[in-house]
Amino acid sequence: MTDRIAVVGAGQMGNGIAHVFAQSGFDVVMIDVSQDALDKGRATVAKNIERQVKKGTIPPEEQVKILSRIDLSMDLETAREASLIVEAASEDSGLKYRIFTDLDRIVNADAILATNTSSISITEIGRRTSRPDKVIGMHFMNPVPVMKLVEIIRGLATSDKTMKYVTEIAQRLGKTPVEVNDYPGFVSNRVLMPMINEAIYCVMEGVGEPEAIDQVMTLGMNHPMGPLALADLIGLDTCLAILEVLRDGLGDPKYRPCPLLKKYVAAGWLGRKSGRGFYTYSK
């Protein structure tokens, strides 16, 4: 198999995933439906590599080499030669089903189709292809170049061979893979999102200001980041989509998204990426 990787989606996760693959020597094509997203994605990778050079974590001569390994494309057909495709488009099940049906038609029969979904069923995505044994969750954490964990999610039909391949790839990227099974939200978001949602209820009910709520969790629980700052980093639209998957998939009202979260998303207050969420951010 070649070392060519396709990353579908150039948003905050897609460009981070393209970055870590290119840094580990893979040739990458990063695909998005938006040229603006591709340009911003590439600029983010360039800025993050510069930061790594300044910190001394990668040598300066690597900067140009890493960037030159990432091609940009607006055409899904350019995934054709990839041996592994990592999908990181928006958290929308219908969109992901369409992308996987298309990828299944486009790529080689032995290529592995991975998704970075935060919560959507790997088994359901796999069903949209003729190769459910080669469909798997490869859930990177944000920011991708920094965070060590990759949650590897086994769909009902995912083969041992696919698990082994993706586990080894994650290790090649210098990450720590952790295997879990396919239930809504997997482990990471099943545990994290109820906490974030509860913190948003605390804002809505006036229990505390966002700063106070985050301080309680950072200083009191030793979390590196408060739940509201983290929600802004993840993206409030993504948090809402994940909570809806948890609510619908598990059928328990404890996962109902807080009305204040819905209101923020309706207003286009999506957190860092839109400049405003529970905090405001300068562009």
Ligand X SMILES: NC(=O)c1ccc[n+]([C@@H]2O[C@H](COP(=O)([O-])OP(=O)(O)OC[C@H]3O[C@@H](n4cnc5c(N)ncnc54)[C@H](O)[C@@H]3O)[C@@H](O)[C@H]2O)c1
Q: Which spans of this chain sit near ligand X (rule: CB under 6 A)? A: 8-14, 31-34, 37, 88-91, 95, 99, 116-118, 139, 142, 234-235, 238, 273
| Number of residues that this document lists for the chain | 283
Residue with tokens 């040229």: 35
Give helix 188-204 / helix 227-234 axis angle, nearest 10°: 110
Active site (annotated) includes residue 91:
no
Nearest-approach distance from CB 196 to ligand X, in angstroms: 11
Q: Are 199 and 221 in contact (CB under 8 A)?
A: no
Q: Which residue is nearest to ligand X (CB)?
A: 11
Q: Are 24 and 104 in contact (CB under 8 A)?
A: no
Helix (H, G, I), strand (E, B) or coil at 164: helix
By CB neighbour count within 10 A (0-12 exposed, 13-18 middle, 19+ buried), where does 35 fall? exposed
Q: Are 140 and 116 in contact (CB under 8 A)?
A: yes
Catalytic residue among 48, 189, 197, 274: 189
Nearest-approach distance from CB 73 to ligand X, in angstroms: 10
Nearest-approach distance from CB 36 to ligand X, in angstroms: 8
Residue 213 or 237 with smaller CB distance to ligand X: 237
Lookup: tokens for 226:
């408060």
Nearest-approach distance from CB 150 to ligand X, in angstroms: 10
Catalytic residue among 83, 93, 118, 188: 118
Active site (annotated) includes residue 68:
no
Active site (annotated) includes residue 24:
no
Active site (annotated) includes residue 139:
yes
Catalytic residue among 121, 139, 197, 244: 139
Catalytic annotation, residues: 118, 139, 151, 189
